[in-house]
A and B are shown apart, each in its own frame.
Chain A
């Protein structure tokens, strides 16, 4: 089971609804475990920043990273309606058992 650590930015002036987006991603990856980014042993870190400033503090973690920052995924612009899909796909790539 893929263990995904989620870290939000703090959402002072977000351009997207981060928590709602993560709910959508969860639905797309029903077999994955979404955990706090502080939990040890996560497989991949999902950063959810509300806007392109992307000021979410990075937890101590060495490993793969997927970054949502406003309407971008890993710095590439992404249509709002497609973010969840794109992110789910990227996260799934890190599931060694998939």
Chain B
């Protein structure tokens, strides 16, 4: 297992091509835009060594019997799934932002069971190949980007019907050594500070789209790979501390648009190449694992938002007002409701033919559907409690300005005993954790709300429900 510092050192050895606003980033380590995300990802490494957290942060490999970082582990039991949920909440409480590594974690788990099923049905040998890769991941403690989402072009058209065939990642050629892939992946969380990416198809596929059924591993600095780091709300503030809100760990995961310009992948890193009928299974499993997470990591974050709201109420002198107390209780209720769903879909986990454990997909989709609503509601309440000053506060520079500072100090005071700087810090924390990019992640990360509703309709047995109603009132037909 690597420590956080060893992970950071390992990044220095990589040479990914990363651009931001037209300029090439020479080193992701130490860059003000990316370092907070690196710090956040490093937390996933450090918890494995901290006695207070290692029970959640580590697991025993089912392949080797070695103690490994849980982010490289294949869940074996529902208890493992529950531990994952608890771990994500615990790390979220420490970083206050996305720590990125769960996407690759879910990708590993989804590919593990899908390759097994694929081999059983098609006689391929992807699973044993994947197991070899997995052993290496466990040993090297690799940080992997879960790369599913394609740019998708015209959403009304299938991959092969697109005006540009590269709107979805596909293989363009193959030979005895490997395959060549082309296309792009969008919204790639933690990509700039990962070691490798695990490419998966983004949607269920039919025979005419077989070239788009690609699952493989690519190093982030492989020839032909280029990353464009995305803009975030307030990223112009990355050079100040207080104005950023969460200056140590940033906001969401630091996403990239990653371009794959004819990238060669050797066969030992290819886990699907043309087996279109299994694309849907892989997508569904990855999505369900990933939706499980949202009632976990986001609850770590709402723990912080709730704490920040309680503090700002104290700083503003409103903490004793009944409606404020009630709004904080409402936030707790919403937050723990989301957590309940994550625990439930984990507790109802089941073994797949590979022996790995899978969440209950119906309940996992409920988790994410709730997130698209309740996080917005929690953030709405936080804006109510914090007051409009959260949105119109002068800058940190003005707070510390030799001439203006005295006015900012004087008029931005709340309760007299609270230092104005503390009020600034908490207001900025709430502002940055509850709006812009941070909020949108709750809507679209792990899939837009409609994607979950499709799954709910598919998983819930409506006929059974109709039968129940009919039976109760003696309708027989």
Residues of chain A whose beta carbon lies under 8 Å from any beta carbon of chain B: 6-13, 18-19, 36, 55-57
Whether A11 lies near B51 (C-beta < 8 A) is no
Contacts of A9 in B (CB 8 A): 55-56
Shortest C-beta distance, B294 to chain A (Å), equals 15
Whether B51 lies near A12 (C-beta < 8 A) is no
Total chain B interface residues with beta-carbon distance under 8 A: 15
A24 to B33, CA, bound (A): 41
Contacts of B54 in A (CB 8 A): 8, 10
Residues of chain B whose beta carbon lies under 8 Å from any beta carbon of chain A: 51-57, 82-83, 85-87, 89-90, 303
* 29 contacts across the A-B interface (CB closer than 8 A): A6-B51, A7-B55, A8-B51, A8-B52, A8-B54, A8-B55, A9-B55, A9-B56, A10-B52, A10-B53, A10-B54, A10-B55, A10-B56, A10-B57, A10-B83, A10-B86, A10-B87, A10-B90, A11-B52, A11-B53, A11-B56, A11-B90, A12-B90, A13-B86, A19-B51, A19-B52, A55-B82, A55-B86, A57-B55
Whether A12 lies near B87 (C-beta < 8 A) is yes
Contacts of B90 in A (CB 8 A): 10-13
Whether A13 lies near B89 (C-beta < 8 A) is yes
A10 to B303, CA, bound (A): 16
Contacts of B82 in A (CB 8 A): 55
Contacts of A8 in B (CB 8 A): 51-55
A55 to B343, CA, bound (A): 13
Q: Can you add 5 more A-B contacts, CB < 8 Å, to A6-B51, A55-B55?
A: A11-B53, A12-B86, A12-B87, A19-B51, A56-B55
A32 to B90, CA, bound (A): 30
A19 to B89, CA, bound (A): 18
Contacts of B51 in A (CB 8 A): 6, 8, 19, 36
Contacts of A56 in B (CB 8 A): 55
Contacts of B57 in A (CB 8 A): 10
Contacts of A13 in B (CB 8 A): 86, 89-90, 303
Closest chain B residue to A20, Cβ basis: B52
Shortest C-beta distance, B76 to chain A (Å), equals 14
Contacts of A12 in B (CB 8 A): 56, 85-87, 89-90
Shortest C-beta distance, B99 to chain A (Å), equals 14
A83 to B51, CA, bound (A): 20
Contacts of A36 in B (CB 8 A): 51
A8 to B49, CA, bound (A): 12
Contacts of A57 in B (CB 8 A): 55
Question: Which 4 interchain pairs have the tightest Cβ spacing?
Answer: A10-B56, A12-B86, A10-B55, A12-B90
A18 to B50, CA, bound (A): 13
Contacts of B86 in A (CB 8 A): 10, 12-13, 55
Closest chain B residue to A12, Cβ basis: B86
A32 to B83, CA, bound (A): 32
Shortest C-beta distance, A78 to chain B (Å), equals 20
Contacts of B55 in A (CB 8 A): 7-10, 55-57
Residue of B52, B56, B87, B90 with highest tally of chain A CB at under 10 A? B52
A19 to B52, CA, bound (A): 7
Contacts of A10 in B (CB 8 A): 52-57, 83, 86-87, 90
Closest chain B residue to A59, Cβ basis: B55
Contacts of A6 in B (CB 8 A): 51
A36 to B51, CA, bound (A): 8
Contacts of B52 in A (CB 8 A): 8, 10-11, 18-19
Closest chain B residue to A7, Cβ basis: B55
Closest chain B residue to A18, Cβ basis: B52
Shortest C-beta distance, A16 to chain B (Å), equals 12
A53 to B110, CA, bound (A): 29
A57 to B80, CA, bound (A): 11
